[in-house]
Structure 1
Amino acid sequence: MSERVRIEINAGIAEVRLSRSEKRNALDGAMFDALIEAGETLKGAHGVRAVVLSGEGPGFCAGIDMRVLAEMQSGKIAGVGHLASRTHGICNRFQYAAWIWREIPAPVIAAVHGFALGGGFELALGADIRYLTPNARLGVMEVRWGLIPDMGATQLMRHLAREDIVRELAYTGCEFSGTEALAYGFATRLADDPRSMAFSTARQIADRSPHAVRALKRLFNRAVVVSPEAGLIDECIEQQVLVGSRNQMETVHADREGRPPRFEEATPATVTAVTSPVDPHRGLAARQ
């Protein structure tokens, strides 16, 4: 893929590795572009059922490259001046480097060791699941540089932790540990070897129907932005497509016969998001 980010796919599991260890996987313009390229590749990849996001070297990601900070006197960040311009759907370039993991159809598991600071913490927030070492160092660091988090953290954090905790961490820029992250709600589990735990969970996910898992991800993504009425319709639309489908029936037959299921792989054409929270018939027609 890139000198900054590497992808390896094996048995339906894609590992994405930040590979700029000599710079503690710090985020510069090339790293932002490499993360987006990796995400775009996986969005259209056939047969990927789970993704593990990790970092090489002493930690996950140290956040913004200090050289980028030095260049900000020009009024630009890594060459970008108009941050409000939407260049990647609802996001700009920096936001999309973290947000794209929400758009990948398969679940994404972040394995965080050492540190995930500033933009590195925001990158981890984009994953579905986060496994951390107990002594990992994390922080919403941007206020230390007279800035605010700008990779989607203000939207992602508020669904995970209490509002006052989010505000305290963002206002102070204080670091916190993996153990504290678990208490706050930012970590799913703690592990001495989060990468191994991530692969263990990824293998469990890969053993499930890819159509059902992807439907779940679509529903969970939308649940935080739609009304309960729309969410309940979404649930019905997804279930109607799954009931009696080849993979759904294969789960039943495999269980009865005591064998591993042989699933039909999901393709981009079969994972279109629910199109309307109001008209379930239009949404269902788009998915068939």
Structure 2
Amino acid sequence: MSRVTTEIKDHIAHVTLTRGDKMNAVDPDMAEAIVAAGTALIDNTDIRAVVLSGEGRGFCAGLDVASFAKFAAQDPVERVMPRTHGDSNLMQEVCMVWRKVPVPVIAAMQGVAYGAGLQLAMGACIRIAHPETKLAIMEAKWGLVPDMGGMVIWPHLLRSDVLRLLTYTAEPLTAAEGQGMGLVTRLSDTPLEDARVLAQVIAGKSPSGTRAAKRLIDVAESGADAATVLYEESREQAELIGKPHQMEIIAANMQGRAPNFG
């Protein structure tokens, strides 16, 4: 049974979790499918944006509780410590693979984004959520710590005291509350529709410029020193000025039309 589908249309990859009957809970097969879907997009030069969503009533309810028994039967060190995907293990790559995709990733959230689901959403550049979507760093409920990449990203989004509160308590909050904290970019009564519209807007910009912007932001957020960031600003800009995509943008603006990048 398919856990994830990918449809590429008009330079936008629509990646959908398709385990709606289980609130898209992550079992080992789902983890493998999510990572495979993201990995398949890394070298795709045709895409300009990704929309990441979950079918049914919830974006992702977290780890599939039915998988806990299987996990418990394995040696925990052997299960979580091997770096199977660069710096990550499989479960961490569920989040981190979307940071490796070279174009903007937009997550559309509804219903719930708990635990693994919230960390999956953290892999996106932008998160659009229905105001009543429930969010939670859920691992403390099970006597665990977040271990799917969230701790790489949350310190850039949340104040330390807020991150600690959410991590220590596992208490859910609404997306409306999460927006004020930094977990949610934008609220919408129709998050998937709005995510698709935003993806179309991004797809209409210079493909090379957008990819350069994502690389540059990644450098800026990496903790690099000022000299490195300033150098990367200049290097990325030098690769764009006067090139075909930039010249097409200029021509389109001057002629009052939409750009055509082929």
Q: Normalised by the size of structure 1, how large is the TM-score?
A: 0.88
Counterpart residue identity of residue 260, structure 1: A
CA distance in 2, matches of 1:224, 1:257: 37
2:196 aligned with 1:199: yes
Match of 2:258 in 1: 260
**Is 1:162 equivalent to 2:159 in the alignment?**
yes
Supply the distance in 1 between the matched residues of 2:71 and 2:101 (Cα, whole angstroms): 31
**How much does 1:70 deviate?**
2.2
Stretches of 4+ aligned residues off by more than 6 angstroms = none
Quote the residue 1:11 is aligned against.
10
1:192-271 equivalences in 2 (<5 Å): 192-225=189-222, 226-263=224-261
Shift of 1:92: 1.0
Deviation of residue 136 (structure 1)? 0.5
Distance 1:74 1:227 in 2: 45
**Tell me, which stretches of 5 or more residues in structure 1 are unaligned?**
265-288
Mapping of residues 106-117 of structure 1, within 5 Å: 106-117=103-114
Give the superposition deviation at 1:84.
Answer: 2.5
How far 1:75 sits from its partner (Å)? 4.1
Deviation string for 1:86-124 (max 9, x for gaps)?
111111111111111111011000000000000000000
Deviations 1:225-252 (A, max 9, x none): 1122211111111001001111111111
Q: 3-state SS of the aligned residue for 1:81?
A: helix
Query: Any residues of structure 2 matched to 1:1-288 within 5 Å, and which?
Result: 3-76=2-75, 81-225=78-222, 226-263=224-261
Query: What is the alpha-carbon distance in structure 2 between the residues aligned to residue 152 and residue 21 of structure 1?
Result: 23
2:78 match: secondary structure: coil
Provide the C-alpha distance between the structure 2 equivalents of 1:6 and 1:73, rounded to a whole number of angstroms: 29
Distance 1:229 1:172 in 2: 40
Structure 2 gap ranges (5+): none
TM-superposition CA deviations, 1:262-282 (whole Å, max 9, x none) = 215xxxxxxxxxxxxxxxxxx
Q: Give the letter for the 1:124 counterpart.
A: A
Deviation at 1:27, TM superposition (A): 0.5
Q: What is the aligned residue count?
A: 261
Residue identity in the other structure for 2:42: K
Distance in 2, matches of 1:120 and 1:128, equals: 15
Distance apart, 1:81 and its partner CA: 2.4
Report deviation, 1:82: 4.1
Over the aligned positions, Cα root-mean-square deviation in angstroms equals 1.3
Deviation, 1:71, is 2.5
Question: In structure 2, what is the Cα distance between the partners aligned to 1:259 and 1:190?
Answer: 30
Alpha-carbon distance between aligned partners in 2 of 1:93 and 1:72, rounded to the nearest angstrom? 13
Partner of 1:284: none
CA-to-aligned-CA distance 1:14-70 (integer Å, 9 cap, x gap): 110000011110101100100011001111223111100000011000000102222
Identity of aligned residues (%): 43
Shift of 1:255: 1.2
